[in-house]
Amino acid sequence: MAFASLADKLQQTFKKLRSRGKLSETDVTEAMREVRLALLEADVNFKVVKDFITKVKERAVGQEVLQSLTPAQQVIKIVNDELTSLMGGTHSRISISPRPPTVIMLVGLQGAGKTTTAGKLAQHFAKQSKRPLLVAADIYRPAAIKQLQVLGEQLEIPVFTLGDQESPVDIARKSIEHALAYARDIVIIDTAGRLHINAELMSELQAVKQTVKPHEILLVVDAMTGQDAVTVAESFNKDLGLDGIILTKLDGDARGGAALSIKAVTGCPIKFAGMGEKLDALEPFHPDRMASRILGMGDVLSFIEKAGASIDIEQAQAMEKKLRKQEFTLDDFLEQMQQMRKMGPLDQLLGMIPGMGSQMKKLKDVEIDEQQVKRIEAIIRSMTKRERRDPAVLNGSRRKRIATGSGTRVQDVNRLLKQFEEAKKMMKRFHDMPKGKKGAGLKLPFMH
C-alpha cells in the first residue's frame, strides 16, 4: 500500500507524543527527529526533508501550541498542513480548453506505463461525458500501437493511428485534424519513450509540442523508482516545460518518496496517481486527502466518491429494507460482494477510513478479487432457493452436495457460511446504532 512504512512510523511517533500530555520544546524536537528519519527512510529528497522539518518546528514550538490544551494534536495538525502543502496544497485539475479539442501529450521513459495510463486517462474523461481520442504516436516500441488499439477496443474509445511509417510529428498533427472532423473533444497523445533521457528523445518531443501546441504536457513516471522519478521529472521539465505529473504504481510504493518530493523539487503538481492495474485505477491526486491517509486520519471523501461511483443506490436502499426486516439472504450477500469488488482492494479502502490503519496489517494482500467472487458465486448458485433463503437447513449432506456441485471443498462452503453470518451481524450492529453514532468512529486524532 502507498506510504505504508512511512505512515506506520509517523503514526507511532505521534502516538508517543499524545501519551505525554503537556509538551516541552525538547519533546517536539525529539518527535521531529523521528519524523525526519522516517521521511529520509521513505526516500524523500534530503533538502525537501530539511525544509519540511524547519517549517514544522517553527510553527510547533510557538506558545499557542505548547500552552494549548491539546499540544500533541496541534503538532499533528501542523504536520498534516505541511504535508499537504509539500504535495501541492490543492488538487490540480487538467486545463480543459474552451475551444475543443483539449490536447494532452503524455511523455516519459520506457516502462513507466504511458500507454496504459493513456487508456486510463481516456476512460476518466469518458466517465465525465467527454469524447476522447487516443493517438498512437509511439512508432519505435514493438507492439506499442497494438497495445493502445487493444485498450481502445476494451474501453470502446477510438484510436488514431497511421502505423509506424509516418513520423510522430505528422501523426500528432493529423490526429488533431481527425478529432476536429469527428467531434472528439479530448486528444490524448501517447508518445515514445526511451530507456534513459537523451537528446534525440527530447528533440522529437519538442517538435511534437511545437506542432500541436498541447494544452497539457503530463509526465508519466513510476513512483517505485523513488528519487530517480524526481530526477527524470526535473529533466523533462527543463527541456519541455511540464504542466503536471502522473505517478504510476503508487499503490505498490510503500515508501512514497517520489510523491512527497516531486512537487517541491520541480514545481510541477501531481495531477493523477495510478493505484492499480485495472483500467479504472487512476485517481485524481488530492494532497490534503493523501496527507490525511499518511497520518492515519483516513480519507472519507475519497471513500464516499468510490462508493458513489461503484454502488447502485437503489440496490443499497433495497438492502437496507431487507436488513430492517431481517430478510438478508445469501443472494443479497453475493450481490454485496460484487458491489464491494468494484470499489477496489480492501487495504486501500481501509486506508480511507479513520482509525483503520492498524487493521491493514491483519488484512495484508486481502482483496475482494475476481476469483474469490467467482468461488462464492459458484457455491451460492449450487444451493436451492430454500437453502439460499434459510442457510439453517444446510446439514452435512447438503454441504457436501453443494461443494461437489460448485467444484469446491466442504471447508470452502463452511467458510462462506461463517462469513455470511459475520457480515449479517456486523450490518445489523451498524443498522441498530443511533443515527448520530454511525459516524462516531470517523474521528480525527486531533479532535477530542
pLDDT for the residue 310:
46
Q: How far apart are CA 360 and CA 366, in angstroms?
A: 9
C-alpha closest to that of 285 among 35, 111, 94: 94
The three-class DSSP label of residue 104 is: strand
Distance (Å) of CA 73 to CA 22, 61, 348: 11, 13, 25
Measured over the CA atoms of residue 202, residue 205, residue 210 and residue 211, the dihedral's sign is: positive
Q: Which CATH class is domain 102-295?
A: alpha beta
For domain 4-86, give the fold. Four Helix Bundle (Hemerythrin (Met), subunit A) (1.20.120)
- For residue 354, say if its preceding peptide bond is cis, omega within 30 degrees of 0: no
Burial of 51 (0-12, 13-18, 19+ CB in 10 A): middle
C-alpha closest to that of 246 among 278, 228, 223: 223
Helices in 106-193 by DSSP H: which ranges? 114-126, 144-155, 168-181
Contact 301, 442 (CB under 8 A): no
pLDDT per 10-residue tile (average), the chain, 448 residues = 76 83 84 91 90 91 74 85 90 90 94 92 93 94 90 95 91 96 95 87 93 95 87 92 92 77 91 86 87 67 47 56 64 72 56 48 47 83 90 92 93 89 67 47 35
Distance (Å) of CA 221 to CA 61, 113, 270, 380: 37, 8, 10, 43
CATH number of 301-437: 1.10.260.30
Burial of 63 (0-12, 13-18, 19+ CB in 10 A): exposed
Q: Residue 10 is inside which H or E element, if any?
A: helix 4-18
pLDDT for the residue 43:
87
pLDDT for the residue 50:
94
Give helix 370-381 / helix 330-343 axis angle, nearest 10°.
Answer: 170
Q: How far apart are CA 42 and CA 226, in angstroms?
A: 9
pLDDT for the residue 42:
87
pLDDT for the residue 54:
93
Q: Which three cell numbers stand for residue 429?
A: 450492529
- Parse the chain into domains and list their residue ranges: 4-86, 102-295, 301-437
Q: How far apart are CA 398 and CA 125, in angstroms?
A: 49
pLDDT for the residue 356:
46
Q: How far apart are CA 119 and CA 282, in angstroms?
A: 10
Q: Which three cell numbers stand for residue 272?
A: 493523477
The three-class DSSP label of residue 255 is: coil
The three-class DSSP label of residue 267 is: coil
pLDDT for the residue 414:
93
Q: How far apart are CA 430 and CA 437, in angstroms?
A: 9
Burial of 169 (0-12, 13-18, 19+ CB in 10 A): middle
pLDDT for the residue 438:
44
